[in-house]
Amino acid sequence: MGNRTLSSLERGELSLGDSPPYYADWEQRLRQILLEHGPVTHESRPKILHEIYQYIGAKDCEHEPMLVHFRQSNGVIVYQTQCARCWSHLSSAIKYSSLTDEERASAPERVDRQTHWGHTEAIKLAMLQRVNQLVILEPTEEEQWWADYNAYLRSPEWQSLRERVLRRDGYMCQSCLTRQATTVHHRQYRKRYEPRSWEHAYNLVSVCSECHQRAHPEKDL
């Protein structure tokens, strides 16, 4: 059953059969969580997942105890209470003598933990799959920095400053002092890239392509 459930999830379908009533409204609960936290972003995703795990863990369930029975390996029938909504086991074995014949006769068979785990895992996977499909891939701070920086390198302001620095250095690589400079290298970068407020010529140096590559071994320039 577990394999069939996973396959249906992979196909974008979900068939849980006799899943407990508590989880029947999982789509409504997910919508409520998403409304509370807004768009699924890098920042909000951990909080959303936390609420999903709480929901699947039945921490929100008010528990509706019902009498159930199960048969031990030695054939003895044991009675206990189990939540009718989330299937959590609510008590240990109940004394046989404390129950009436009617109670014993009407007690359904207990849902075992493996079946409970299988259904709740399937719902959790479905909820996580929905969340992952909604993630807005916001750039990290570093990704945004490089995006702003690369946009600046395409600007007329940078092209003008670059040409003035090359002229200042006589188009000679200031690293090896043997090859012609083909690019301008930043000596230092700032955590927040604000070129108009801090870009100064003394922070820039003309270099050849070979020296520039050595300055950035982590990149393929």
Each of the 221 residues of the chain gets a pLDDT tens digit; together they read 333 333 333 333 333 334 555 566 788 888 888 888 888 887 788 889 888 887 776 656 677 888 999 999 899 999 999 887 777 788 889 998 999 999 999 998 887 766 666 667 788 888 888 888 887 766 777 777 777 888 888 888 899 999 999 999 999 999 999 999 999 999 887 655 555 545 788 989 999 999 999 988 877 76
pTM: 0.40
Same domain, 124 and 208: no
In a domain, 20, yes or no: yes
Same domain, 120 and 198: no
Same domain, 146 and 134: no
Q: How far apart are CA 18 and CA 64, in angstroms?
A: 17
End of a domain among 123, 138, 153?
138
Name 198's Cβ contacts closer than 8 Å, sequence gap at least 6. 190
Burial class (CB in 10 A: 0-12, 13-18, 19+), 136: exposed
Name 10's Cβ contacts closer than 8 Å, sequence gap at least 6. none
Length of the chain: 221
End of a domain among 138, 161, 180?
138
Same domain, 100 and 29: yes
